[in-house]
């Protein structure tokens, strides 16, 4: 399975949401990482043929996905950031309803629904109405509906938004399990979600794919280093104007421990630390708040 984006562009009344993207994806997990407004959802909606590009094209194994029409959608599973459901349907009834829309035969749908309810950990709560399920449970129903047709391409838009840490871990494990022999594209602004499960990470900013690679490659691409040092709490505003601060931890006696991104050692007592994907996110998407000469 090969999904190829060629000069893919989408404009809305003069605003370019997706800007001439070229990229090829095959089986595996791809993490689309970027801040809110980067164009991730627009890109995913085009991949799911919900909106047409202004320019460029998307091909699946060499065929234009919009020309493939229903043939392509049979290969596709999609979890939007906010998926619609009938609140008075039980989880089981909702999945059976979606199965009918997707054209699954009743006997096949019944077996598939029960298998997926077990896989996503909802077998015991399948009879509960959707409106009574927790946010995490609803997201699990969402991934189950995306998997009903056993898709070869799975597109997930902000699947862990609003989930507690335990639910996010469960969800990441589920995605890793489902990614075998599939192409999975996972969009998020939560760095840890892609750090653990993505084979390839795409950094998206202002409609463009700025950098791609494994987590290790993305981290090593950052030209600045990470430093940890202690400073007087009163200096934090000035430090924020000169450097990008990855973390500020309050200590005793009006001191703070700061994690600083800087090409050079910011202070003689600063100790270099190992960079993380969160540091990279800050480097590419964060901004300093003022003039570099405004310290001390």
Instruction: Say if domain 3-215 classifies as CATH 3.40.50.300.
Output: yes
**Lowest mean per-residue pLDDT among 82-86, 130-134, 280-284:** 82-86
Q: What is the pLDDT of residues 114-160, one digit of tens each?
A: 999 998 889 999 999 999 998 888 988 998 999 999 999 999 998 88
Question: Is pLDDT of 32 > 50?
Answer: yes
Angle at 188 between CA 9 and CA 191, to 5 degrees: 125
- What gap in Å lies between CA 40 and CA 30, rounded to an integer? 13
Asked if 236 contacts 256 with a C-beta cutoff of 8 angstroms, the reply is yes
In the predicted model, is pLDDT for residue 295 greater than 80?
no
Cα gap 125→120, rounded to integer Å: 11
Non-local (6+) Cβ contacts of 157 within 8 A are 40, 41, 44, 78, 79, 80, 81, 187
- Average pLDDT score over residue span 102-115: 94
Q: What pLDDT band is residue 291 in, cutting at 50, 70 and 90?
A: very low
Per-residue model confidence as pLDDT tens digits over 189-214 = 778 888 888 999 999 999 999 999 99
pLDDT score of 182 more than 60: yes
Name the DSSP letter for residue 210: E
290 pLDDT more than 80: no
> What are the boundaries of each domain within the chain?
3-215, 222-285
User: What average pLDDT does this structure show over 56-73?
Assistant: 95
Please give the pLDDT value at position 292: 39
Mean pLDDT of 238-263: 87
CA distance 76 to 52: 16
Do 206 and 257 touch, CB atoms closer than 8 A?
no
């Amino acid at each position: 399975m090969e999904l190829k984006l060629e000069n893919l562009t989408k404009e809305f009344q003069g605003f370019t949401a997706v800007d001439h993207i070229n990229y090829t994806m095959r089986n595996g997990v791809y993490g689309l990482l970027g801040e809110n407004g980067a164009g991730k959802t627009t890109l995913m909606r085009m991949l799911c043929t919900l909106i047409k590009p202004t320019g460029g094209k998307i091909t699946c194994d060499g065929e234009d996905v919009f020309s493939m029409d229903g043939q392509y959608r049979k290969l596709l599973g999609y979890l939007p950031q906010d998926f619609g459901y009938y609140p008075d349907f039980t989880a089981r009834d909702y999945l059976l309803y979606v199965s009918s829309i997707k054209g699954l035969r009743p006997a096949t749908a019944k077996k598939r629904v029960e298998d997926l309810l077990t896989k996503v950990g909802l077998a015991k709560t399948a009879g509960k109405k959707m409106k009574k399920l927790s946010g995490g449970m609803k997201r699990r129903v969402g991934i189950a509906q995306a998997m009903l047709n056993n898709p070869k391409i799975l597109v997930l838009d902000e699947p862990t938004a609003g989930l507690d840490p335990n639910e996010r871990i469960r969800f990441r494990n589920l995605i890793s399990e489902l990614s075998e022999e599939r192409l999975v594209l996972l969009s998020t602004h939560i760095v840890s979600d892609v750090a653990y499960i993505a084979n390839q990470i795409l950094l998206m900013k202002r409609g463009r794919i700025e950098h791609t690679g494994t987590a290790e490659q993305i981290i090593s691409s950052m030209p600045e280093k990470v430093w940890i040092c202690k400073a007087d709490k009163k200096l934090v505003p000035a430090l924020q104007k000169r450097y990008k601060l990855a973390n500020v931890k309050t200590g005793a006696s009006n001191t703070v421990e700061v994690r600083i991104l800087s090409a050079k050692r910011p202070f003689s007592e600063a100790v270099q630390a190992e960079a993380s994907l969160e540091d990279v996110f800050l480097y590419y998407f964060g901004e300093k708040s003022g003039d570099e000469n405004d310290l001390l």
